[in-house]
C-alpha cells in the first residue's frame, strides 16, 4: 500500500482538464471542471478540506476518488461563488450545510495546507458533529503506507489507496502503519467501536 502520490494526482488532474476541454470543443459551449451544481438533498461520501492554493492537486484527488466510485464535495466546484479568502458568516454557514451533507471529511495535507485558515475550522466542526475525519496526505515520493501527522493531525487516521485481491482500487483507513480497515467499514462504526485489522 502507498500514500497518494503527487505526480500521479497531478497527472489525473491534467487528464480531467483535457477531457473537459475536449467536451467543450465538441459541444462548442462553456464547460467548467464540473457540470454539476450542489443539490441540497444529495449526500456526499467525502468532503475535501484543502488549501485553495492546491487547485490542481484537489481536482486530481477529486476525480481519483470519483474513479473509485465515491461522491466528492469540493467547494470551488460545486459552489463556485464562494470566496474562501473572505471570512464571513454566510460562507461559514454554507460550508456547515455542505459538511452536514457529507459522510466523511478528508483533510488533504500538502505544503500549502499548513497556512490554510479554513481547514482547521472545517476539521474541528466535522469532528464535533460526525467524528469521521481522516487525513489524506499527498507526498512527492510515496514508497509505503507510513504517515506521521504533526500536532493535532496525528490524532486522526489517514487514507491509503491500494488494489484489493480482485484488482479493484480500494480506499483504506489506517490508524497507524500497523492497523487498518476498509473506508466503508470505518464509516459504519463509531470511533469507540472500531475494530482495526493488524497487518501481518
Alpha-carbon span 155 to 198, nearest angstrom: 19
- Residue in 49, 184, 169 with CA at minimum distance from that of residue 109: 49
Task: Look up the pTM and report it.
Answer: 0.87
> Going by DSSP bridges, is the β-strand pair 197-198/44-49 parallel, antiparallel, or unpaired?
unpaired
| CATH number of the domain that residue 134 is part of | 3.40.50.10140
Q: What is the mean pLDDT of the chain?
A: 85
Alpha-carbon span 133 to 154, nearest angstrom: 12
Domain that holds residue 23: 4-198
- For 3-58, what is each residue's pLDDT tens digit? 788 999 999 999 998 887 765 555 444 334 444 555 677 889 999 999 989 999 99
Q: Please classify residue 57 by burial: count the beta carbons closer than 10 Å to its beta carbon, then call 0-12 exposed, 13-18 middle and 19+ buried.
A: buried
CA atoms within 13 A on the CB side of 139: 18
Q: Per the structure, how many domains does the chain have?
A: 1
Amino acid at each position: 500500500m502507498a500514500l497518494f502520490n503527487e505526480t500521479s494526482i497531478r497527472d489525473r488532474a491534467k487528464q480531467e482538464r483535457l477531457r473537459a476541454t475536449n467536451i467543450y470543443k465538441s459541444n462548442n459551449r462553456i464547460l467548467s471542471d464540473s457540470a454539476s451544481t450542489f443539490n441540497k438533498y444529495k449526500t456526499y461520501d467525502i468532503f475535501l478540506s484543502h488549501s485553495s492554493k492546491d487547485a490542481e492537486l484537489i481536482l486530481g484527488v477529486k476525480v481519483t476518488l470519483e474513479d473509485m466510485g465515491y461522491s466528492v464535495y469540493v467547494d470551488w466546484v460545486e459552489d463556485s461563488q464562494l470566496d474562501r479568502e473572505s471570512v464571513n458568516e454566510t460562507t461559514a454557514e454554507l460550508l456547515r450545510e455542505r459538511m452536514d451533507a457529507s459522510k466523511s471529511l478528508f483533510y488533504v495535507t500538502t505544503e500549502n495546507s499548513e497556512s490554510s485558515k479554513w481547514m482547521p475550522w472545517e476539521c474541528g466542526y466535522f469532528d464535533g458533529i460526525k467524528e469521521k475525519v481522516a487525513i489524506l496526505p499527498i507526498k512527492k515520493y510515496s514508497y509505503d503506507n507510513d504517515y506521521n501527522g504533526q500536532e493535532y493531525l496525528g490524532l486522526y487516521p489517514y487514507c491509503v489507496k491500494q488494489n484489493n485481491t480482485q484488482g479493484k482500487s480500494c480506499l483504506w483507513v489506517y490508524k497507524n502503519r500497523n492497523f487498518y480497515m476498509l473506508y466503508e467499514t470505518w464509516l459504519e462504526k463509531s470511533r469507540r467501536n472500531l475494530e482495526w485489522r493488524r497487518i501481518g
